[in-house]
Amino acid sequence: MTDKVRYDVADGVATILMDNPPLNALGAELRLGLAEAFARADADAAVGVIILAAEGRSWPVGADIREFGKPPLPPALPSLCSRIAAMAKPVVAVIHGSALGGGLELALVCAVRVAAGDAQFGLPEVTLGILPGAGGTQRLPPLIGAQAALRMMISGRPVPADEAARLGLVDHLAPAEPRSLAMQIARAHVEGRSRLPCAKDRPGPHRRDPSRWLAAVEAERAKPRLAHELAAPRIVDCVEAALLLPTTQGLTFERAAFEELVGTPQARALRHAFLAERSAAKTLAAGARTSLSHIAVLGGGWIGAGLAAEVLGHGLTVTMIEADRQALANGLARVARLHDTAVAKGTLSEAQRQIDWARLLPATSPDAAVGADLVIEAVTENLAVKSAALAAQAVARGGTGPVLSVSCRLDPLMLASAFGATDDHMTLFISDPVRRVTLAELAAPADCGAKVAGAAQALARLLGWRPIQQGPKPGFLSMRLLTSLFDLADRTVAAGAVPHEVDRAARAFGLANGPFGMKDVYGPDHALLRHATRRAGVDADPVGQAMAIWLTGEGRRGRRSGAGYHLYPTGARIGAADPALAEVLGGMRDRIPQDAAHIQARLVAGLANEGAWALMEGRAYQPSDIDLVAMAQGFPRWRGGPMQSADEAGLLMLRNLLREWASGGDPYWQPAPLWDDLIRNGQRFSDLNQRGS
């Protein structure tokens, strides 16, 4: 038996303990240990009941991500689950933490489920573009009904223990001592005081109402789905099969559907996105575990005010510091406006607003930041102004931090030097509006200390951001990718397209908005447009510049003004084609319509090439980080980001297209040497990724 499983027998009860830290992922060693332990219990005539429990933080949370993409090692989870389901002895599962994916499928083959109060249950495979492949689609519907099972599997959202008990997924709730209760239940069976069924003798109460089952299937099947949503319809098919087919055939049907989905580009991309999120933390500087209660924000612009409002909303005290009383009043007014909006939307009550406002401390002296757990410098994007603010903090705080500077284009090393304590300073990129931020990019000198890294990570946890770290280079990945997206859009127009054509192709590819639509949302004065960040030797496209100048001259400031690159009738979020702009463009270059496939190839090749240059510069540590940044900006998750999309399209083909476009003399399209290196060695961008465990 492997060391991932412990086995003990006492008074006719065998206890099998899973012990695979940190979250008991169902890797090959754990599966082998379970198979051996159950075989041992089955063969022991002295064993009347088996208790299956987990040590550590949780019941198994699913598969071991280190095995993703590798040939499966025996015993496979489906066969292990079928073996346990066929046991002639009752199995009692003791569940705490999260029973997710394969972990829930393991729990489903036990005869009785005892759950701690903190337990949650879910089958989130749909978020990976697949479906439960170890019996989940066949065993959950008979237990809780087809409608509830479909809701769990198609949403992917877990349910808490109390709801699981109401559904019939949990037999006993034991908030305090679930293992003790399970032992009482097991001993009562062994001593003859009660009888426990075997799993095979509990077919599920909902099989008795097939008409209701089929009605739930048809209702779900009738819902409209996007073309890339392949998993949900197959889940519906499997739930229907769970009613119509014998169990063995239903499991075979499920496995065939699983194998069909797991090899699709969408599933590969979603797995890549999942792994990218797990591995991003490996690029972060090691941080000390930090708790935050008081944060000082230097600067009351929209970024500073947005940070203050968000931090206040999480119960912390915020000191807002501005250079003078008028600037401070303006900053406080911005926080008030953000609170007004939240109250109007119902996301903040008036009473809570007053409580939050009482924790907002205004100040005009740098000394007011003394005692704060973290200082966030968010003054205007100017090196001299930021350096002065950081120098003042160095004096006020005695040269110690931690301090985060918010910047989209300045050099993190220069900012750290201005503070004077490089080990206590990091630079952070986030965009406005802060409430919509999902990903935070961090950059720091090589001697970045654990204290500031820990504070940055604590802020990210508090606000629900996913942090990644890039090399300490001027400008951030977000700005490079966004600038590159806008540049390739301008160049596509210069090649003969019109903005509406470009955006339509981008949305068809899956982007949340097209590049010109994004510009219209931001408006020409937004920092993300004013602070374009390009690699050395690359300039803005002349046609793109001329287009922007014409729009500005016409007073077309984007969606809020009703016209920009597109026209926006009242209330419209997606712009309509503008004949006037098309006519103006006709005088700048020849009109050559571009089909969607060509525009989409430009989109993937341009962004992936920018990512390749960022990797060679040491700005990005791994391709998957570039994909995370792109997905946070609206690149479709089911495509996995530009680097994953390039892998799917084929590096050789895209490299050749880049060469063809670069032959016209535009350095924007010049392929990074990394393309040649990977092609020569038969590799893909994904081969350069670290994989988290």
Query: What DSSP string runs through 488-506?
Result: HHHHHHHTT--HHHHHHHH
Q: Are 106 and 25 in contact (CB under 8 A)?
A: no
Any idea what DSSP says for residue 563? B
Q: What is the pLDDT of residue 474?
A: 87
Instruction: Give the span between the Cα atoms of 228 and 364, in whole angstroms.
Output: 53
Q: Which two tokens stand for residue 312?
A: 């206040």
Does pLDDT of 572 surpass 90?
A: no
pLDDT in tens, 168-178: 999 999 988 99
- Distance between alpha carbon 429 and the CA centroid of its chain, in Å? 17
Half-sphere exposure of 319 (CA within 13 A, CB side): 19
| Helix 642-649 with 265-280: angle, nearest 10 deg | 140
The residue-averaged pLDDT of 464-469 equals 92
pLDDT of 420: 86
Q: Is 52 helix (H, G, I), strand (E, B) or coil?
A: strand
**Residue 522 in tokens:** 């931001």
Q: Is 692 a residue whose pLDDT tops 70?
A: no
> 1 pLDDT band (50/70/90 cuts)?
low
* Closest among 226, 200, 283 to 689, alpha carbons compared: 283
pLDDT at 691: 60
Q: What is the mean pLDDT of residues 87-116?
A: 97
**What average pLDDT does the segment 460-478 reach?**
91
Rounded-to-10 torsion of CA 73, 79, 84, 85: 160
| Pairwise CA distance, residues 261 & 135, whole Å | 16
As to burial, measured by CB atoms within 10 angstroms (0-12 exposed, 13-18 middle, 19+ buried), residue 632 is buried
| Residue tagged 């959950």 (tokens) | 140
Residue 693: band (very low, low, confident or very high) from pLDDT cuts 50, 70, 90: very low
**421 or 691, which is more confident?**
421
Q: How far apart are CA 103 and CA 451, in angstroms?
A: 36
Q: What's the pTM value of the predicted model, to 2 decimals?
A: 0.91
How confident is residue 286, by pLDDT bands cut at 50, 70 and 90?
A: confident
Beta strand 13-18 with 5-10 is antiparallel
| DSSP 3-state of 287 | coil
Residue 626 clears pLDDT 50, i.e. is over it: yes
Closest CA to 550 of 607, 485, 493: 493
Please give the CATH number for the structural domain made up of 286-474: 3.40.50.720
Residue 585 has pLDDT above 90, yes or no: yes
DSSP state of 428: E
Give CA angle at 200 (54, 141), nearest 5°: 80
pLDDT at 287 over 80: no
Token representation of residue 654: 């895209």
Domain ranges for the chain:
5-263, 286-474, 479-688
CB 528 within 8 A of CB 482: yes
- pLDDT-based confidence at 206, cuts 50/70/90? confident
Q: Are 343 and 263 in contact (CB under 8 A)?
A: no
* Distance (Å, whole) CA 178 – CA 198: 20
Look at residue 668 in the predicted model and tell me its pLDDT. Answer: 98
- How many alpha carbons lie under 13 Å from residue 150 in its C-beta half-sphere? 25
- Map tokens 């119960």 to a residue: 315
Task: Using the predicted structure, report yes or no on whether residue 35 has a pLDDT greater than 80.
Answer: yes
Q: What is the pLDDT of residue 166?
A: 96
Please state the rounded mean pLDDT for residues 44-56: 97
Q: Which two tokens stand for residue 38?
A: 């159950």
Read off the pLDDT band of 399 (50, 70, 90).
low
| pLDDT (0 to 100) of residue 268 | 95
- The SS3 assignment for 683 reads coil
Lookup result for tokens 């559904």: 167
The answer to whether 455 and 374 have CB atoms below 8 angstroms apart is yes
Q: By C-alpha distance, which of 600, 500, 591, 499 is closest to 547?
A: 499
Residue 334 buriedness (CB in 10 A; 0-12 / 13-18 / 19+): buried
CATH of 479-688, picked from 2.60.120.370, 1.10.1040.50, 3.40.630.10, 3.40.50.970, is 1.10.1040.50
Query: What's the rounded Cα separation, in Å, for the pair 208 and 282?
Result: 51
Q: With H, G, I as helix, E, B as strand and everything else as coil, classify residue 523.
A: coil
Average pLDDT, the chain: 94
599-612: average pLDDT: 98
If you average pLDDT over residues 365-391, what whole number do you get?
Answer: 93
Per the model's pLDDT, the better-predicted residue between 525 and 255 turns out to be 255
- Read off the pLDDT of each residue in 18-39 and give the average, rounded to a whole number: 96
Per-residue pLDDT averaged across 331-360, rounded? Answer: 96
Give SS3 for 403: strand
Give the whole-angstrom CA distance, residue 363 versus residue 557. Answer: 35
- What confidence category does residue 262 fall into, taking pLDDT thresholds of 50, 70 and 90? very high
Separation of alpha carbons 297 and 404, rounded Å: 10
How many whole angstroms separate alpha carbon 206 and alpha carbon 221? 19
As a whole number, mean pLDDT of residues 415-421 equals 88
The fold of 5-263 is 2-enoyl-CoA Hydratase; Chain A, domain 1 (3.90.226)
Measure the CA–CA gap between 146 and 240, rounded to whole angstroms.
8
Q: What is the pLDDT of residue 237?
A: 98
Task: Give the pLDDT confidence score for residue 528 in this predicted structure.
Answer: 79
User: Cα angle at 400 between 394 and 401, to 5 degrees?
Assistant: 95
Q: Is 399 left (phi over 0), alpha (psi -120 to 50) or beta?
A: left
User: Which residues on adjacent β-strands are paired with residue 6?
Assistant: 17
| Residue 592: how many other CB atoms lie within 10 Å | 8
Confidence of residue 432 (pLDDT cuts 50, 70, 90): confident
Q: Is pLDDT above 50 for 245? A: yes
Instruction: Tell me the per-residue pLDDT of 292-315, one tens digit each, with 9 for 90 and over.
Output: 999 999 999 999 999 999 999 999
Those residues with Cβ within 8 angstroms of residue 419's Cβ, 6 or more apart along the chain or in another chain = 390, 391, 393, 394, 401, 403, 405, 425
Catalytic residues: 105, 125
- At residue 88, the pLDDT reads 95
Could you read off the pLDDT of 70-93 as tens digits, one per residue? Answer: 788 899 999 999 999 999 999 999
